[in-house]
Chains A and B, each alone.
Chain A
Amino acid sequence: MRRLAIFMLLVSASALPAARADTQAALAVLEAECLGCHGAAAMSGLDLRTRESVLQGGSRGPALVPGDAEASLLYRVLRGVREQDRELRMPSGKPALGAEHIAAIASWIRNGAAWTERPLDAGGQWWAFRRPAAREADIDKPNPIDGFIASKLRARNLEPAPEADRRTLIRRAYFDLHGLPPAPEAVDAFLADSSPAAYAKLIDALLASPRYGERWGRYWLDVVRYADTGGFETDIYFPNAWRYRDYVIRSFNDDKPYDRFVKEQIAGDEIWPDDIELRGGYRIPEEKLEHLEARLGTGMYAIGPVYHEAALDGRQLRYEWLTDAVDTTGEAFLGLTLGCARCHDHKFDPLSQRDYHRMMAVFAGSEPKEIPVVNKMSQFGFYSGYPRLLKVEEYKAAVKRIDAAARKRLVKQVEAGFSAEVLAAYRVPRGERAPEQREQAAKVEAALTAAGLKENAAGRTARLEYTPQERDDRERLLYELGKAALAANYRIASATVLGHAEVRYPVRMTSRGDYRAAGERVAAGFPAVFTGGREQAATQEPASGPFVPQRRKALAEWLASPDHPLTARVMVNRIWQGHFGRGLVAAANDFGRQSDPPTHPDLLDWLAVRFVEDGWSVKKLHRRIMLSEAYRRSSLPVAANAAADPQNEMLWRMNRRRLDAETLRDGILAAAGKLNLKMGGRPVVPPLSADEMQGIWSPAQWPVSLDPAEHDRRSVYLYVKRSFPYPLFTTFDAPDTSVSCARRNVTTVAPQALTLLNGEFMREQAKALAGRAEDPRRLWRLALGRDPSPQESERTAGLAPERLALLLLNLNEFLYID
């Protein structure tokens, strides 16, 4: 694409006077090939953006001698020069430029090295910053996706793999859309249905199931670094994070148009400001509920890491929140690593530090807020029942009074061991003690600490002794306390969403990411590369008077515009990645210049354009992809292609994929017949083995769900604790939730084998699977969707059912989807 652009420039320039054509061609080469390092980044001191800076040169001296190419370093390094003992050749670490490009540079220098009126700009040329082109495929196929892929295959002389067999197809489709294996009956029905529409019907049915949103919502949760806690030592709990998680799942299940999904998450509150007041009845008007739902989307900005230490300085806390908001927005929606521009201008993309701070200003003045999600009548209901809560408080206080009395007696006992003089010293207020009194008091304090009567990090550990009367009272009070607690309501159901802070602090430029080094004030705006290189304010804001903030609304509407060069492409690429294991752009969060351009640029653009035309429907996109030949191909090798494209970049076959952590757990639970399909709600806290529990700093922050049925819920509903990720998931490459995750790691390590062979979870599930059928062949069908071969049956005949079940769940055939 990049080379193509240069080529086109050369062609169109041929109509111009020769010197000017030379100039344009040469500068296009510089922009596309050199500015990444020798633009704003000025590596080795060389900045190629203006004629003056080129003439001035860098640490190796002047780069250009107009009229003399052979004397110009700029030209010589393209061919390679010897410098001391090593060769200096540009572009560094990349293949040399094509001969025609080098010739263009030479010719331009010989003609005097003229310049244009503007400085060069690395951004304008990059494919991802230009609107997608709606070009049709060269080859006509029923599904245009196949036309685009066929042209590439033909050009590379690659042979497409045949269609996968139907058993493979249904398993692939189930895991792809639901993250679950097909039941044996579903496999049988699909195999028996010979109608041509059987496969399309299957896809439609899978897309219509709520299991779909749970699977694809999870991908999005990776992108937005979802967690239920804030991380670090305090690891604060987000009581309402799950509402955002459920919102994401609902959005996918409802096939919410993606532009709406974007707008809701960034600015649901600013675009659809509303309350949930009743209007003459108990039902909240439908429209208000829709608006509430839209606001839940902004919960995306209320689930990031909370850098607990920053709470000691409000400015830092705010700065950390803003940078998380900008970084996540950049990666999730723009597919750009804006974070690089936090401390300095982006070295590779045309994103300045100023751009970064202008994006921060978009979020400045916003902050997470808790809003009720029940109507006023229910809120009144809570306050009408509030005295029950007071009752709870009364019983608690009564129990504590008894404990205090018992503790006091114990303290007296300890103090009885000291002389009156020492005790008198101890009673002197801390700051007023004389040195010898300090020593005396320290003895008392030490004795009290040793008796577990003083607060320290281990808490008060003393075992209190009660009088018979106290013991009776205490038991009765505890019973009453329990009864009162059962009857009381503790909170009004709420959601945590974005709202507006009462005080708006200005955003100032910072230096090297240090919030304290504040410079000039910056207004909200989008990266200048998208606005023709000029800074353009996101909103017109009144200098004074009442103000309804609209900054995020402006950002949301800009991103969700059908003309945006990145939004649709980035999402289409994520969906593609979900189906093929690798996106058309391999770096799903980085469409910038550091990444390789798409393997199929025309296909990516076509999909993006169609996505917008289809009303940003994600389900239609799934359908289009899954009905293609490309998706249905076998994943088995085709010998003829092995040398030409061993990595299958051209998509001559389907990629084999290992189940990710959640899908592995869900798949095992499903095979074992234990999966609990209950949807939504507060996160499930699964039990940990005693060994696993050893690693957690604060066991009190792991309140295991008491209902065992809850333990078998789908993985997307499990507690995501930032400071203690669920060990089974960590073992299978679940992402770190500190930043957006574009794509999971896939590692193969021995602890995975140990977990699947010896772990408690596996033993339970193997037992459950074994209990599902008398006939061992049925176990094969439940786990793998097929019968065993006679050899397989024969050699496993001696195995106890539980061992056979364990074997099946450990097979590569179970963990990898063909």
Chain B
Amino acid sequence: MTQNFTDGYCGRDLPLRSRREFLQKAGLGFGMIAATDLLAGENPLAARKPHFPAKADSVIFLFMHGGPSHIDTFDPKPLLNELHGQPVPESFGSVDLQFTKVDRVPLIGSPRTFRKRGDSGLEISDLFENVAAHADALTVVRSCHHDGFTHVTGQNWMNTGWARVGRPSIGSWVTYGLGSENENLPAYMVMLDGPIKAGPPAYGAGFLPAVYQGTVLRSQGPPILNIERPGDITERQQRKLLDLLRQSNEEHYAARSDDSELAARIASYELAFKMQTAVPELADLSAETEATRKLYGLDNGETRNFGEQCLRARRMVERGVRFVQIYSGGRKGGAGVGWDGHNEIDRNHEQMARSVDRPIAGLLTDLKQRGMLDRTLVVWGGDFGRTPFTDGAEGGGSNRNGRDHNPYGFTIWMAGGGVRGGQVIGSTDAIGLRAQEDKVHMHDLHATILSLLGLDHEQLTYFFQGRDFRLTDVGGGNNLAGRIV
């Protein structure tokens, strides 16, 4: 599908040729107005048919901010434990890293215990005991890689398929391709644990129209920026103001009734008014049962925050939100470093994993119980993985028991959305430094996610700066979708 929002995005414009294009120009807000006949079916966020039958309708992307270690979680490396304390064997070669000079640091084994789980015997470490109970639902991809060895570039790669800013995030591409199922809520929602390093561009629409950008749902204060009426104005007063506004705008429109943008703007106020009810309702967890709250770990201080976000994610998907992203370990989580275990990684990961393990397992259980897991794709990952050797360039053999960033080989996993569980895709080398077999680049992962949603990554394009852009650029050749469902 190639859509052109032709009148007025940066870089290229075409004259507006058709009524449809003209109406799209209005870029009608999340879920536009069924009220105005004129605009029926012209909403850029109207639910659209995928390119081919989809396995999943929505995505929940769990993002471990800072970069979780694959070799301490989902990618066991027995040889690494044997080589603990030794220098990196020369046969593994060198890589560019943020801080570390590979030839000056020792390997460190994983202090975690890996066990075979479920019927499939998938090996998962004791950092994720609760998630491990769902092993037979997970497809673990151990051969992921990209080129961004700093946080911002890693987060950009994972989210936008490009190191630098300016490209649309995957959630934006998905909503651009599929639209939304709920006109009163944003189609693409993001929950943060404090600010993230890549900032809003990580969930931004890039060069796509702003209507496709991720909307942050906050855990404290107003759930969406400016969603709350100012304290000194009652709902009735606001309703009256909106009625007067509508009346004046309609009079203004009467003489300009060929301008659908004016109509769209009139309707956007009605939608805003409805959102003022729909969004707080979405965010409010009081209607959830005690059992559900417990399932997500809301009864525990360590898991409450991420648990609430996972629970809200389920509520979003229930209400037709297309793409949900939850970050663990933003500025407010994990002592300000998130999953970025340069120092004392074991302690760091123990703390971080404790805060997400039960909520994630609870989410999987809950989705399954409600029959939603089949149509909801859950993805777990982070900026990148971590190195098998200690962190640090200075004075040979730093002993901070940390690991540096490693974009050259790391793990993500998927569950639900038609994905067959209990399987492993690809592998890293014997110490977990580089992806080795069946390598899965970010473009491949993105192509896979799009495919599961029924979108052909080569057809989902947008014309900008003189050419058709894709989420997967010129990659995506190793699309896993055909193999893992």
Interface residues in chain A, defined as those with a beta carbon under 8 Å from any beta carbon in chain B: 231-233, 305, 307-309, 312-313, 331, 337, 339-340, 346-349, 430-431, 433, 435, 438, 441-442, 445-446, 449, 456-458, 582, 586-590, 592, 594-596, 599, 635-637, 642, 646-647, 649, 656, 658, 690-692, 694-697, 722-725, 727, 730-731, 733, 735-736, 738-755, 757-759, 763, 792, 795-796, 799, 803, 806-807, 810-813, 815-816
Contacts and interface: CB of A to CB of B under 8 A. Distances in A.
Given A748-B29, A749-B211, A799-B244, 12 more contacts: A232-B164, A233-B152, A438-B401, A594-B466, A691-B226, A724-B200, A735-B10, A744-B8, A750-B30, A754-B272, A813-B252, A815-B265
A222 to B, nearest CB: 8
17 contacts: A232-B165, A233-B152, A449-B343, A589-B465, A594-B467, A637-B258, A697-B196, A736-B206, A743-B8, A744-B8, A745-B210, A748-B261, A749-B268, A755-B225, A799-B241, A811-B245, A813-B248
Contacts of A589: 11-12, 465
A747 B467 contact: no
B115 interface: no
A599 B228 CA distance: 46
Contact of A752 (B200, B238, B268, B335): B268
Given A456-B343, A697-B195, A754-B227, A337 B7 contact: no
A741 B10 contact: yes
Contact of B253 (A695, A696, A751, A812): A812
Interface in B1-57: 5, 7-17, 19, 22, 25-30
A459 B247 CA distance: 56
Give 7 closest A-B pairs by Cβ, nearest first.
Answer: A337-B466, A747-B27, A749-B29, A738-B166, A458-B336, A753-B272, A750-B29
Contacts of B163: 307, 309
Contacts of A635: 256
Contact of A750 (B165, B233, B249, B272): B272
Contacts of B252: 811-813
A739 B344 contact: no
A609 B30 CA distance: 46
Nearest to A815: B265
Contacts of B11: 337, 587, 589-590, 739-742
B249 A812 contact: yes
Which of A642, A731, A733, A751: most chain B CB closer than 10 A? A751
Interface of B: 5, 7-17, 19, 22, 25-30, 85, 96, 98, 148-153, 163-166, 192, 194-201, 204, 206-207, 209-211, 215-216, 218, 221-222, 224-230, 233, 237-238, 241, 244-245, 247-249, 252-253, 255-259, 261-262, 264-266, 268-269, 271-272, 275-276, 331, 335-337, 340, 343-344, 347, 395-401, 465-467
B116 to A, nearest CB: 29
Given A747-B211, A758-B228, A582 B13 contact: yes
Nearest to B225: A691
B265 A446 contact: no
A624 B11 CA distance: 27
Contacts of A815: 265
A751 B395 CA distance: 53
B467 to A, nearest CB: 5
Nearest to B219: A694
Given A697-B331, A742-B11, A751-B226, A446 B344 contact: yes
A391 to B, nearest CB: 34
B8 A646 contact: no
Contacts of A739: 10-11, 166, 465
Given A458-B336, A753-B271, A806-B241, A590 B30 contact: no
Given A337-B466, A795-B247, A753 B268 contact: yes
A300 B194 CA distance: 34
Contacts of A313: 96
B262 A812 contact: yes
A811 B253 CA distance: 11
Which of B22, B206, B399: most chain A CB closer than 10 A? B399
A796 B244 contact: yes
A250 B56 CA distance: 56
Nearest to B152: A233
A696 B218 CA distance: 14
Given A589-B12, A656-B259, A811 B248 contact: yes
Which of A691, A754, A763, A792: most chain B CB closer than 10 A? A754
A759 B262 contact: no
B54 to A, nearest CB: 24
Given A457-B335, A695-B195, A750-B30, A647 B465 contact: no
Given A232-B152, A431-B397, A433-B399, A746 B261 contact: yes
Contacts of B204: 736
A687 B182 CA distance: 34
A595 B12 contact: yes
Given A747-B210, A758-B228, A646 B19 contact: yes
Contacts of B211: 747, 749
Contact of B199 (A590, A724, A747): A724
B12 A763 contact: no
Nearest to A441: B399
A750 B152 contact: no
Given A586-B15, A747-B210, A736 B230 contact: no
A586 B27 contact: no
A339 B464 CA distance: 11
Given A697-B195, A736-B165, A590 B268 contact: no
Nearest to A585: B13
Given A339-B466, A456-B337, A812-B266, A636 B398 contact: no
B218 A743 contact: no
B397 A758 contact: no
Nearest to A731: B210
B406 to A, nearest CB: 15
B152 A435 contact: no
A172 B150 CA distance: 48
Contacts of B7: 582, 746
B349 to A, nearest CB: 15
Contact of B209 (A340, A724, A736, A747): A747
B474 to A, nearest CB: 8
Nearest to B332: A694
Nearest to B27: A747
B15 A337 contact: no
A431 B399 contact: yes
Contacts of A750: 29-30, 268, 271-272, 275
Contacts of B148: 309
A749 B30 contact: yes
Contacts of B85: 435
Contact of A690 (B210, B216, B221, B241): B221
Given A232-B152, A636-B256, A697 B30 contact: no
Contacts of A646: 19, 22, 258
A736 B151 contact: no
A807 B340 contact: no
B427 to A, nearest CB: 26
Contacts of A232: 152-153, 164-165
Given A458-B335, A636-B255, A742-B11, A736 B29 contact: no
A212 B148 CA distance: 44
B255 to A, nearest CB: 6
A393 to B, nearest CB: 26
A741 B192 CA distance: 30
A595 B335 CA distance: 52
Contacts of A813: 248-249, 252
A233 B151 contact: yes
A723 B14 contact: no
Given A233-B197, A592-B466, A749 B22 contact: no
Given A309-B163, A691-B222, A746-B27, A803 B237 contact: yes
Given A690-B221, A812-B265, A649 B22 contact: no
A446 B348 CA distance: 11
